Structures are given as structure tokens and as C-alpha cells.
Amino acid sequence: MIKVHDLKPAKGSTKAKRRVGRGIAGKGGKTAGRGTKGQHARNTVARGFEGGQTPLHRKTPKAKGFNNPFRVEYQGVNLDVLENVFEAGSVAGPDTMRDHGLVHKNGLVKVLGRGELTKALTVRAHAFSASAKQAIEAAGGTVELIASPYADRRPPARGNQHANR
């Protein structure tokens, strides 16, 4: 009966690895198959060397993390700010917020729920937090959602610059 330890390859089917660099005779002698001179003959190729091209470890940034170039950034405006700046019954939109210095020139506006709102305002913005929407409607105001300037597409890679809408 044959056992696992009795198994071996057929005669002539395996060959020993060629040992190069053992003296000057034979095929693997002297330069040991490396040719003459040069970077590969001298065994000086650094790990990660890409043939002179800037290697990957130098191309990638040193700082950790990732900045998404297509991120949609909103400028937040809280309810307590709207309470202090706007009169009852007025319309608070991105343009009027810009006039009062609450948001920057070309940003998308998101209304956030910090503070209380006691006046009935018509608030226009690109986004609302759930608590802000609830507080505005509870105070007798209305919420108007402005359509995204990017529609169903992603924003341009260089931030949120768009025409004032």
C-alpha cells in the first residue's frame, strides 16, 4: 500500500535550481547572468523605484485623510440669528441674508435649528434641518426649499462656485 510519505515526482520531472555566481566557469559564472555594469548588475535598485518617474510615496500627500472635491458645502444660519436680524412677516432668502452679512457671496444656505423663533417668517434656503423646519412652521412661518443649482448632477470639482440664484 502506498502512503503519502512514499510519494515523489517521476524521475527527470524536477530539476535543481541553478546556482549562479560560483566561480568564473559555466553559464552562471562571473557576472552571474546580470550582464556587464549598470544599475541591475550592481544590485542598487531601491525598493519602490519607478524608473525615474516620481514614485507613488512622493506623489501621495503626507497629511492623512481625504478631501472630496465634489463635496456640497452649505453655510449654516441658525434660527436665533434669523430671530435677531429679520422683522416679522419678512422673507429671509439667500440674497437678503447676504445683504445682512449672514452668508458669503456664492454659498448654498442651510437653516439650522439652534435657538428659538417667535416671528412668522418666510424662509428660503437650499436646505433645512428637521428641527429648523419644525420650529419655523410652529412659529407660523413658511419654509421654501430652493432647488440645488447642480440639479441631479454633482457639483464642479473646484468647490461650490455658482451664479447667485
Give me the tens of pLDDT residue by residue for the chain, a chain 165 residues long. 889 999 999 998 998 888 888 888 878 888 888 888 888 888 888 888 888 898 888 887 776 777 777 788 899 999 999 999 999 989 999 999 999 999 988 789 999 999 999 989 999 999 999 999 999 999 999 999 998 887 777 777 765 555 444
Report the C-alpha gap between 1 and 99 in whole angstroms. Answer: 96
Report the C-alpha gap between 98 and 164 in whole angstroms. Answer: 11
pLDDT at 162: 52
Helices assigned H by DSSP within 7-157:
56-59, 79-85, 94-99, 130-138
CATH number of this structure's domain 74-145, picked from the four choices 3.100.10.10, 3.40.50.2000, 2.120.10.10, 2.60.40.10: 3.100.10.10
pLDDT at 51: 87
